[in-house]
Structure 1
Amino acid sequence: MSDTITNLAAKLAEDTMKVMDETGDDRFFVEVGVVLGAASQSLEEAFLTEIRVRMAERKARQFVIQRLTDHRSKLKAIEKQ
């Protein structure tokens, strides 16, 4: 895939995620994908990949943070005993 497509897809995904965060519309990326698909299937595929990667990273990061929070809570409970 060309650098141009990759760069454009990454920037568009970043901007789309910002809109999703601000509006609370977690499916907005689907609408953007439809618009892209009508104009460029290559850019649509690259964009959707970028979105999936970002969403997966967020979910994994939330998991990691929750695990650490739980661990620290357990340690505090033990220390209070």
Structure 2
Amino acid sequence: MGLIDDLAENLAHDVIEAQLELDEDRFYIDIGDYIGTSSPSLQEAFMTACRLRLAELRGRTYFEKRLGERRKAKAAAAADGAPK
């Protein structure tokens, strides 16, 4: 990765952690707008990194939810078929 990607990734990591801590789902946009006043290139790389991280987080949360539901259903089906 180049310098711009490294900087954007590092900042995106920190901003997303803060965003989750603060429970402000658009905090990264504020930071991105501020970055854009001095470096549109860094802003774009940062926003891309944030969008990717947030999409991965949403995907992982959904995956874990669905996996839990399927495991619960499988366990219930196995319990229903178990000898009593």
- TM-score, normalised relative to structure 1: 0.93
State the alpha-carbon separation in 2 of the partners of residues 28 and 15 from structure 1: 11
What RMSD over aligned residues (CA atoms) do the two structures have, in Å?
1.1
Question: How many percent identity over aligned positions?
Answer: 35
State the alpha-carbon separation in 1 of the partners of residues 17 and 41 from structure 2: 23
Any idea what the Cα deviations from partners look like across 1:7-63, whole Å, max 9, x if unmatched?
000000000011101110110001001110101000000000000000110111112
1:51 aligns with 2:50: yes
Whose helix proportion is higher, 1 or 2?
1
Gaps (5+ residues) in structure 1?
none
State the alpha-carbon separation in 1 of the partners of residues 17 and 79 from structure 2: 41
Question: 2:41 corresponds to which residue?
Answer: 42
> Which has the higher Rg, Structure 1 or Structure 2?
2
State the alpha-carbon separation in 2 of the partners of residues 74 and 49 from structure 1: 37
Q: How many corresponding residue pairs?
A: 80
State the alpha-carbon separation in 1 of the partners of residues 17 and 50 from structure 2: 11
Map 1:51-70 → 2, pairs under 5 A: 51-70=50-69
- TM-score, normalised relative to structure 2: 0.89
Moved over 2 A (4+): none
Provide the secondary structure at the position in 1 that maps to 2:37: helix
